[in-house]
Structure 1
Amino acid sequence: MSSPQPSAVPALRIRPSKGVEEYPALASIWRGAVDATHDFLADPDRDDIEARLQSDYFPAVVLCVAERDGVPVGFAGTLDGNLEMLFIDASRRGEGIGTALLSHTIAEHGVRKVDVNEQNLPATAFYTRRGFEVVGRNDTDEAGRPYPLLHLRLNRSS
């Protein structure tokens, strides 16, 4: 007798966002991901960013969504060759979702640049392992908050 096979992980599908109807689910993914990875972010700053996600940030980018069995498990936002955001459901980290989204944005949206919070060492390592290199730094984030940003660019020889 053969032993039962472990259940397969459902296939990952990357698709364009469905728009505002999907924003609450994406905001929930964002919050869980930030809580898991951005311990340097002060609560009032996190809350301010979260309050502007659906009204300001999501509509300003081209959003693509990674889903398994029809359920969003991550998303990325791009604009003019820049990866503006990439967040994965905190319970799904390590499943290759981030890599799949990054590969998709590079191939389909021409991503060549990304900014990363300097304090988010795992994110910096994620991008550098995938061919990005640090090419600059700012002492503050784009809103002037005290979170230094590293500017990364895809190394074309990668």
Structure 2
Amino acid sequence: MIESIVPSIGKILTDKGWTMSTAESCTGGLVAATLTDFSGSSAWFSGAVVAYSNEVKMAQLHVHEQAIIDHGAVSEPVVRAMAEGICKTLNVDVGISLSGIAGPTGGTPDKPVGTVWMGWHVNGKTYAEKFIFDGDRMSVKQQSLQTVLEKLYRLLEIN
């Protein structure tokens, strides 16, 4: 699926004259690495921020400290701010963000292991959605990668 969706994302971005970037926490740069595995991605992919710490989220992605205090790093307000923030930081048209608990530790009753919030900023609109994935750490990261790109493709089609 990745083999077909990434070139499709690239074509839409190129046709629109848009560029994109990623703001990643729990995936640790996996999305950016996957996008850049494809030849020609430099035409539409600008860069990434791996914001594993809250300090990086605030300093590089313009996430307000109060959002983290009030909702936690794994939350809708934070991934929305991350997606918008990466667009500002790297001056791109499209930003995607991920923040989650890949495990095996770190889960809580409210946010169990496998909880991942994702954000997309496309054509001036910001979207966010929560997912709960099963499996080990790498499985959660791989499912996050697939899901964030599938949703990005759908959003690019309608915007």
Say which structure is richer in strand: 1
Q: TM-score, normalised by structure 2?
A: 0.31
Say which structure is richer in helix: 2
* Bigger-Rg structure (1/2): 1
User: Whose RCO is larger (CA < 8 A, sep 6+)?
Assistant: 2
